[in-house]
Amino acid sequence: RKEVEQDPGPFNVPEGATVAFNCTYSNSASQSFFWYRQDCRKEPKLLMSVYSSGNEDGRFTAQLNRASQYISLLIRDSKLSDSATYLCVVTWVGFKTIFGAGTRLFVKA
Amino acid sequence: SQTIHQWPATLVQPVGSPLSLECTVEGTSNPNLYWYRQAAGRGLQLLFYSIGIDQISSEVPQNLSASRPQDRQFILSSKKLLLSDSGFYLCAWAGTKDAGANVLTFGAGSRLTVL
């Protein structure tokens, strides 16, 4: 089993759609959780941290289920500019930080 | 403010040649430092990480090595490159010693082509 697994997609959605990405992780002792965004041929950039209580940042909502070792990202009212690869990230005790392979999103007019 | 610099940005190297990629962080002290590699169309593979100047953890054997000669400098090296070493090499830093808040910030990356 991979340490962090994501559906690679691609997800092709129209503008204004709601889209959800899922991620599972294998290490139950994982300490911190994030979603990053990566544009083509660029470095990844932090989108948001993920907390057990769930958290929201504008159109983006992240959820963490520690019991199921599952992380999600919901994007509402998709924009063309949301087209990118979304990376699920998990840090273990000891600061080992693992990235999922990413989920590609294409938002079309 | 903190900044991270990686160089060179792009390089083309023959098989069997050596490699040295450098990463420097400014504006912080004792950062956690990371090297990742991303092959074309693939995810980020963790190569090395370091939580202190004498602490480097290796995730990938093979022909790569990492060193941290100064607190804010992280170097990735190889004595003999393989074709499979081609990829996008990314250095990242985090400023916390709390694993529950380990936010990584990346450099712009070094794109390596081995011919």
Nearest to B103 among A34, A41, A101 (CB): A34
Rounded mean pLDDT, A70-94: 96
- Going by C-beta distance under 8 Å and a sequence separation of 6 or more, which residues neighbour residue A53? none
How many beta-carbon contacts under 8 Å exist across A and B?
Answer: 62
Q: Is the Cβ pair B101, A32 closer than 8 Å?
A: yes
Going residue by residue through chain B (115 aa), what tens digit of pLDDT does each one get?
A: 889 999 999 999 999 999 999 999 999 999 999 999 999 889 999 999 999 998 999 998 679 999 999 999 999 999 999 999 999 999 999 988 777 788 999 999 999 999 9
Strand ranges (E), B1-115: 3-7, 10-13, 19-26, 32-38, 44-52, 55-58, 64-70, 73-78, 87-94, 105-106, 110-114
Structure token digits, residue A40 = 């083509």
B2 min Cα distance to partner chain A (Å): 15
Single-letter residue type at B50: S
A27 and B CB contact within 8 Å: no
CB A12 within 8 A of CB A77: no
Q: Which residues of B touch A94 (CB under 8 A)?
A: 51, 57, 99
Q: Which residue has the tokens 């090395």?
A: B48
- Touching check for A97 and chain B: CB below 8 Å? yes
Q: How many residues does chain B have?
A: 115
The pLDDT of residue B60 is 81
- Asked if residue B61 has a cis previous peptide bond (ω within 30° of 0), the answer is no
Q: Would the CB atoms of B99 and A46 count as touching at under 8 Å?
A: no
**pLDDT tens, A2-53?**
899 999 999 999 999 999 999 999 998 888 999 999 999 999 999 999 998 8
